[in-house]
Structure 1
Amino acid sequence: MRPSYKVTELLGDGIGAELSEAVHALAGALPVDLQFEPVDLTLENRRARRSAVYDEAVASVEANKVALKYPTITAEESPNQVLRRRLNLSVIHRPVYTIPGVPSNFRPELDVDIIRIATGGTYDDPGRRIGDSGAVSLRIVERQPVLEAARYAFTLARKTGKNVTSASKYTIQKATDGLFQEVAESVAAEYPEVPHHAELFDALLAKIIMKPEHFQVVLVLNEYGDFLSDMACGLAGSLGIGASANLAFDASAVVRVALFDAAHGTAPDIAGRGLANPTAIFLALSMLLYQVGEIRVGKAVKDGTLELLRRGVRTKDLGGSESTSSFTGAVAAEVAGRLC
């Protein structure tokens, strides 16, 4: 009997429907039973049901402990921000690495785990206009989310033998970034075996391009992590290949719920045309499988997807000729072969 797991499936806009079809097709080739529980987060449904749709989503994720989310349109509110706030998702983990076979203008190999505080910064405050002459917004940094992110970053580095860089503008933003740096250094003291150094964020952006091998786990505040993650995906070749884990923790620093998603957007210009690249959502599914303890299956999904890219089996956005469905079929066959 196959092991069974309930997974909240947060349906999205644009190419979201095609990505969901691809995930279900791949899941059918796996030796585990993923019971998807759909919640419709399309813009149309959010406008029709308002807060009720988020109530449903939060209840489902809390019950199932893991969720897979497809890209959503940000209109009146950001679904990502609402879910992060209501589920207390304090940490975003985005691995970014060079993939053989994916065209890139960047020569050195990149392999970095970006650990981003998922809340606060200026993203929690939409700001307000001051007449016609100006505008203002609050920048919020809280100790607890920084503490959770820092402990996650250093634990990851200890397990993988990597170093940690904490990056901010603590010399200028002395209160907010200063608090971040203070917490990062206090956690670093709890992990004396993990190499750690602080870096000014603007300098980090230059250095990670010049010497990417020096940066392995990077801990950053909310906006900085947003900028850095997309820049790093660009260096690796495409936003279409990035996946993230959004994590909430219990009082013992154990992951309580986890939401996995693709880094890219809804791509309405190609929706319904069979051109969507499911690589990122497959890598997100791989991370989800790791989270539920299916290490072998999760590794097969990741390795199988990357191996096909290495061989040149790619969708058109990466210079290949595959459609969404043909690429999905190839990945499913490759993964099934690895799990025989």
Structure 2
Amino acid sequence: MMKKTDTGPIQITELLGDGIGPELAESIHAVADALPVDFQFQQIDWSLANREARGDAVIDEAEESMRRTKLAVKYPTVTNKVSPNALIRRRCDFSVIYRPAISIKGIHTNFKEDVNLHIVRIATGGTYDDPGQLIGKDAAVSLRMVERKPCEQAAKFAFELARSKGMTYGDSHYSVTSSSKHTIQRVTDGLFESVVTKVHEQYEDVQHNVELFDALLAKIILDPSSYEVVLVLNEYGDFLSDMASGLVGSLGTGASGNYSFDDNNDVDIAMFDPAGGTAPDIAGKNLANPAAVLLAFGMLLDHVNRYDLGHALRLSLLGCIENGHSTRDLGGKLNTDEFTKIVIDNIAAHLPA
């Protein structure tokens, strides 16, 4: 364990889950205990049994805690009738999802090009919030909504991300590509693109490109190095995130951040979670791959301005996988605890002297 620093504690709302959730939580706590920071986890039981027993009360408890800590980590949860993910996103006004998709050496993939995509998805609107309506017996209609405010929030987030990533990893800023079907969806996607263009006026140092979404998918497969931060509407972000996960070879390494914003379009609440599900077939067997939740925790560390720790955690984890020290789903032989331990043992080597 590294020596703790004198900085104040970081309070985190922790939404406990189902299936492999408890094992992922153990991995997070083992890493947190080893880092030189005092983390205080405010645990809330979000298991299916507790949600069904307590109803809205457990949602109220989670919202109150998250509005107080401004920070949360969430584990996979079972959806039965109502998605807990959708509930908490609605309660906390999460309007942006950020999901990196980055190639990891040591993971087998049919795609041989290096991928370094940072997908910023507007998490509201589109057709996802609309139940649709039947018109007679043989037709159906759905209302597609795009709102200015979430577009502004996502655009600012994307340009800030590109600026910070470029300063960290290179001599210039990352570029932002906004993508839609604005030539066809002229009103909705047209509004999105016009808002992004307006926000870009505040970030003239960051290159902004516009790409039609169908062309974007093809061009990413042909040459992913041409794209860095990609900003998209709700449905497009869903499609693109899943495709990108396939390109890098594993859903088991997908992590995401969910964000709400204040009146100045600055991040208010941030919640981080793995992209995978509850995996009931291996739950309780110490076989779960904690890579995604640890990468999500690394994103949390970046968010609270401990990039040094987040980067060291990522380098340690990626180095372990590259050297063949991985869980069985990635072709290795380690169980959850063993993989977590070897990641922890190598973090110190990646911290600044």
Q: TM-score, normalised by structure 2?
A: 0.92
Aligned residues: 340
> 1:170 is matched by which residue type in structure 2?
H
CA distance in 1: counterparts of 2:103 and 2:147, whole angstroms: 33
> 2:155 is matched by which residue type in structure 1?
A
**1:195-214 superposed Cα distances (whole Å, 9 cap, x missing partner):** 22211111111111111011
1:286 is aligned to 298
1:301 is aligned to 313
1:159-174 alignment, distance < 5 Å = 159=164, 160=166, 161-174=173-186
1:93 is aligned to 98
> 1:315 is matched by which residue type in structure 2?
T
> 1:25 is matched by which residue type in structure 2?
A
2:156 matches 1:151: yes
Distance apart, 1:136 and its partner CA: 3.4
2:82 matches 1:70: no
2:19 pairs, out of 14, 17, 20, with: 14
> 2:228 is matched by which residue type in structure 1?
Q
> 1:8 is matched by which residue type in structure 2?
T
2:47 matches 1:35: no
CA distance in 2: counterparts of 1:16 and 1:308, whole angstroms: 22
**Superposition RMSD on alpha carbons, in Å?**
1.6
1:136 is aligned to 141
1:209 is aligned to 221
2:131 matches 1:126: yes
> 1:110 is matched by which residue type in structure 2?
V
> 1:48 is matched by which residue type in structure 2?
A
1:269 pairs, out of 269, 281, 286, with: 281
Q: Aligned with 2:300: secondary structure?
A: helix
CA shift in 2, pair 1:66/1:189, >3 Å: same
1:219 is aligned to 231
Q: TM-score, normalised by structure 1?
A: 0.95
Q: Is the 8 A contact 1:61 1:67 kept in 2?
A: yes
**1:36-71 superposed Cα distances (whole Å, 9 cap, x missing partner):** 111122222222222111111011111111100111
CA distance in 2: counterparts of 1:128 and 1:76, whole angstroms: 20
CA distance in 2: counterparts of 1:48 and 1:135, whole angstroms: 36
Q: Aligned with 1:38: secondary structure?
A: strand
Q: Aligned with 1:269: secondary structure?
A: coil
1:185-264 alignment, distance < 5 Å = 185-264=197-276
Q: Aligned with 1:224: secondary structure?
A: helix
CA distance in 2: counterparts of 1:131 and 1:316, whole angstroms: 52
1:169-188 alignment, distance < 5 Å = 169-188=181-200
Q: Is the 8 A contact 1:93 1:116 kept in 2?
A: yes
2:341 is aligned to 329
CA distance in 1: counterparts of 2:215 and 2:238, whole angstroms: 16
CA distance in 2: counterparts of 1:246 and 1:23, whole angstroms: 18
Q: Aligned with 1:144: secondary structure?
A: helix
Which range moves more in the overlay, 292-301 or 257-266? 292-301
2:113 pairs, out of 105, 108, 132, with: 108
Q: Determine what percentage of the aligned residue pairs are the same residue.
A: 54
Unaligned runs of at least 5 residues, structure 1:
none
Q: Aligned with 1:268: secondary structure?
A: coil
Which range moves more in the overlay, 164-173 or 207-216? 164-173
2:89 matches 1:84: yes
CA shift in 2, pair 1:127/1:12, >3 Å: farther
Distance apart, 1:131 and its partner CA: 6.0
2:326 pairs, out of 299, 314, 317, with: 314
Distance apart, 1:126 and its partner CA: 3.0
Unaligned runs of at least 5 residues, structure 2:
167-172
Q: Is the 8 A contact 1:247 1:259 kept in 2?
A: yes
Q: Is the 8 A contact 1:29 1:335 kept in 2?
A: no
**1:218-277 superposed Cα distances (whole Å, 9 cap, x missing partner):** 000111111111111110110110111111122233221110011111112221222211
Q: Is the 8 A contact 1:300 1:335 kept in 2?
A: yes
Q: Is the 8 A contact 2:152 2:265 kept in 1?
A: no
Q: Aligned with 2:129: secondary structure?
A: coil
